[in-house]
Chain A
Amino acid sequence: MLTRTFKSLLLAALLIPALAWATLGQTASSVDGDALRLQARRIVTTSAGYTVHELQQVGGTVVREFVAPGGQVFAITWRGPNIPDLQLLLGPHYARYLKAAQAGSPSRRPVRLNEPDLVIGNAGHARSFHGAAYLPQQLPAGFDLGLIR
């Protein structure tokens, strides 16, 4: 039964053309060049003050992009069996993620970056990862951080 459900999901993913993956801090409409790099099924939900684009990647990893009314991506979350392409999703911010992952003593541990203009976290284990990144200074007015999930 699980297998059948999984197949349905894969089928759905294949039926819908590849869509853009936006980069944190850039506009959702400016990244069509990335469109062919990843196959994903997209679900868009609009709430007061922001829109969420949920991208279901083949294989099961889900990326959610939070887009402000002006079109800018101010937060991204991910979860699933593997970590999505963070170089693509974080764009120019990826270098700071890498630095945070490498900081300090040798260890395998969650990745954390907690700075005034950028917050990133990644936790989990093989086949079950969870992470989020957002730009604190670019959140829509009154935005509840608890909604980033």
Chain B
Amino acid sequence: MIGTLRTRLHASLLALAAGAGLALAACGGGGNASSGATVAGGGGAASACRGSTAGNNPASNAVYMVVDAACGGINQAYVTITVCVPATNSCQNIDHVWVDTGSSGLRLLASALTVNLPLSNQNGSALANCAQFVSGYSWGAMRSADVRISGETVLSMPVQVIGDAAVPATAPANCATGTPENTATALHANGLLGVGLTRQDCGFGCANAAVPGWYYVCPPAGCTSVSVLQNLQLQNFASLLPIDNNGVLVQLSSVPPSGQTTATGLLIFGIGTQANNALGAAQVYAVDTNPLDQTYLNVATSYGGTNLPYSFIDSGSNGWFFDDATLTHCGPAQAGFYCQAAGPLTATMQGFSTASSFAYMFSIGSASALFSSGFASFDNLGGPSSPAAGPPSGTFDWGLPFFYGRSVFTAIENAQVAGAANQPGPFYAASTP
């Protein structure tokens, strides 16, 4: 049912790896792959972020990850990736690519690119893409790239280039909901690596109809929505790998209650495919797989005696977002967060229509105190999910704070996972406690 986009690992792969100064280890093999990578243009000419996010990659399917303040963000986990003009040695490293398990597709800032990636055209004009996030959106052109992360490579992958001059600078109104995140300064990253539950950003719906809010063509008369074949849509990088293609594992170090300047960890491709990504004792949480359900792609969470059926794990959310009427909301300077220390609190994650559950303990710190530290990583940053006077959102958003000190798995839709008894993706799994 899902359109396949099989990529060929041909001879140019080795050329690409050589051009990037990277050692390409066999799957599961070791090797400090990207340490000291020497590809030109790392970070791009106009990067809004300072410093490198490259580090020791302990295996070919694992890439060093860091949470830092170099792009002005908080609780954003980054990796360094390599992109090349397809089938050439014209490559560059891009640092501070934000790892997002809450979306699918690779998105790069035009300002971070120094290589000229070929445009994707449809109906004779440039194809454009819109990414809607909960509080903002990103808009840009579709291009294609050979993409390598540590020792994992996907050839000719569709990517979105945000802020691309090949399409009009202003997004269509039915795309533009909330904060424009069309610059590295606004996104607090040079790109976004969506390695979520789905294979494409939109999937079947956009292949069969021109759905507003996703894909557009932009002839001179203006942008209009178009349908796009599934294999031409943005793809989950992990889903296209030859072996480690059933999901990702994110591991981040623990941080103290007062926060920390940085935190480090690994993004590991595959689940149960190599020695470093076994599910082990992780608890598996099924998500709703029916796209017609209100609770599609969500788990449930019980907090304070309330069942929250629209809950999810998302490395791209900066905090724990849930409603607790006893917690004090911050003023305008830290709008959207709690400004009262509380805890330990307990939230119970529950798989969709399964008995699998676990009660996780966490704490909340005062955002005003946390932010004044200038640190980038906090395991106790949280905020409300609904307006106090509005209908409840029914959501518990297990954002990046949940990932500190844990192994968190995101399994891709319709993928088989060894060790998850009779449970194909999509699902989440997480270590306990």
Q: Which residues of A contact B (CB under 8 A)?
A: 2-3, 5-7, 9-10, 37-38, 57-61, 77, 79, 81-88, 97-98, 100-114, 119-130, 132, 134, 136, 145-146, 148-149
The answer to whether B388 has its CB under 8 Å from any CB of chain A is yes
By CB atoms of chain B within 10 A, which of A121, A125, A148 has the most?
A125
B135 near A111 (CB under 8 angstroms)?
A: yes
By CB atoms of chain A within 10 A, which of B203, B319, B389 has the most?
B389
18 additional A-B residue pairs with CB within 8 Å, beyond A125-B317, A130-B395:
A2-B290, A6-B204, A6-B292, A57-B212, A58-B212, A60-B292, A97-B178, A103-B336, A104-B332, A119-B390, A125-B103, A125-B196, A125-B297, A126-B104, A126-B201, A128-B296, A132-B390, A146-B391
A123 near B134 (CB under 8 angstroms)?
A: yes
A126 near B103 (CB under 8 angstroms)?
A: yes
The answer to whether B362 has its CB under 8 Å from any CB of chain A is no
Bound form: Cα–Cα A106–B179 in Å: 11
- A residues near B102, Cβ cutoff 8 Å: 125-126
B321 near A87 (CB under 8 angstroms)?
A: no
Proximity bits, B209-221, A CB within 8 Å = 1, else 0: 1111110000000
Give which listed residue, B134, B205, B333, contacts A108 with CB less than 8 A.
B134
- B residues near A77, Cβ cutoff 8 Å: 391
Bound form: Cα–Cα A78–B94 in Å: 37
Top-4 shortest CB links A-B? A104-B335, A59-B211, A103-B335, A101-B178
Bound form: Cα–Cα A123–B301 in Å: 15
- Report B185 CB to chain A, min CB distance, Å: 9
B133 near A108 (CB under 8 angstroms)?
A: yes
Given A129-B132, A130-B394, also A85-B212 (CB < 8 A): yes
A121 near B386 (CB under 8 angstroms)?
A: yes
B205 near A59 (CB under 8 angstroms)?
A: yes
- A residues near B318, Cβ cutoff 8 Å: 107-109
Bound form: Cα–Cα A38–B385 in Å: 29
Given A10-B208, A60-B205, also A110-B335 (CB < 8 A): no
B7-15, B169-177, B267-275 - interface stretch? B169-177
- A residues near B146, Cβ cutoff 8 Å: none
B134 near A111 (CB under 8 angstroms)?
A: yes
The answer to whether B152 has its CB under 8 Å from any CB of chain A is no
The answer to whether B383 has its CB under 8 Å from any CB of chain A is yes
By beta carbon, the residue of chain A nearest B201 is A126
- B residues near A84, Cβ cutoff 8 Å: 174, 212-213
Q: Which of B353-384 contact A (CB under 8 A)?
A: 367, 371, 383-384
B211 near A58 (CB under 8 angstroms)?
A: yes
Q: Which residues of B contact A (CB under 8 A)?
A: 1, 72-74, 102-104, 131-136, 173-174, 176-179, 188, 194, 196, 198, 201-206, 208-214, 289-292, 294-298, 310, 312, 314, 316-319, 321, 330, 332-337, 367, 371, 383-391, 393-395, 397
Given A79-B294, A127-B297, also A107-B173 (CB < 8 A): no
Q: List 8 A-B contacts (CB under 8 A).
A: A83-B177, A86-B178, A87-B174, A108-B134, A109-B337, A114-B389, A122-B134, A123-B397
Bound form: Cα–Cα A77–B202 in Å: 22
Bound form: Cα–Cα A19–B319 in Å: 39
Give which listed residue, B196, B291, B297, B367, contacts A60 with CB less than 8 A.
B291
- A residues near B384, Cβ cutoff 8 Å: 110, 112
- A residues near B72, Cβ cutoff 8 Å: 106
B291 near A2 (CB under 8 angstroms)?
A: yes
Bound form: Cα–Cα A103–B393 in Å: 20
- Report B172 CB to chain A, min CB distance, Å: 9
Bound form: Cα–Cα A125–B104 in Å: 11
A130 near B310 (CB under 8 angstroms)?
A: yes
A113 near B205 (CB under 8 angstroms)?
A: no
- Report B49 CB to chain A, min CB distance, Å: 13
By CB atoms of chain A within 10 A, which of B134, B201, B213, B385 has the most?
B134
A102 near B394 (CB under 8 angstroms)?
A: no
Bound form: Cα–Cα A68–B132 in Å: 31
A6 near B389 (CB under 8 angstroms)?
A: no
Given A7-B208, A109-B135, also A123-B310 (CB < 8 A): yes
Give which listed residue, B208, B316, B335, B389, contacts A119 with CB less than 8 A.
B389
B391 near A123 (CB under 8 angstroms)?
A: no
Given A106-B74, A108-B317, A124-B395, also A81-B208 (CB < 8 A): no
A124 near B310 (CB under 8 angstroms)?
A: yes
B371 near A105 (CB under 8 angstroms)?
A: yes
A105 near B213 (CB under 8 angstroms)?
A: no
- A residues near B132, Cβ cutoff 8 Å: 82-83, 126, 129
Give which listed residue, A60, A79, A112, A125, contacts B314 with CB less than 8 A.
A125
Bound form: Cα–Cα A109–B135 in Å: 6
- A residues near B214, Cβ cutoff 8 Å: 59, 82
- Report B432 CB to chain A, min CB distance, Å: 23
Give which listed residue, A2, A5, A119, contacts B387 with CB less than 8 A.
A119
Give which listed residue, A3, A106, A123, A127, contacts B386 with CB less than 8 A.
A123
B202 near A108 (CB under 8 angstroms)?
A: no
A103 near B332 (CB under 8 angstroms)?
A: yes
Give which listed residue, B1, B316, B321, B332, contacts A123 with CB less than 8 A.
B321
By beta carbon, the residue of chain A nearest B206 is A59
Bound form: Cα–Cα A119–B392 in Å: 12
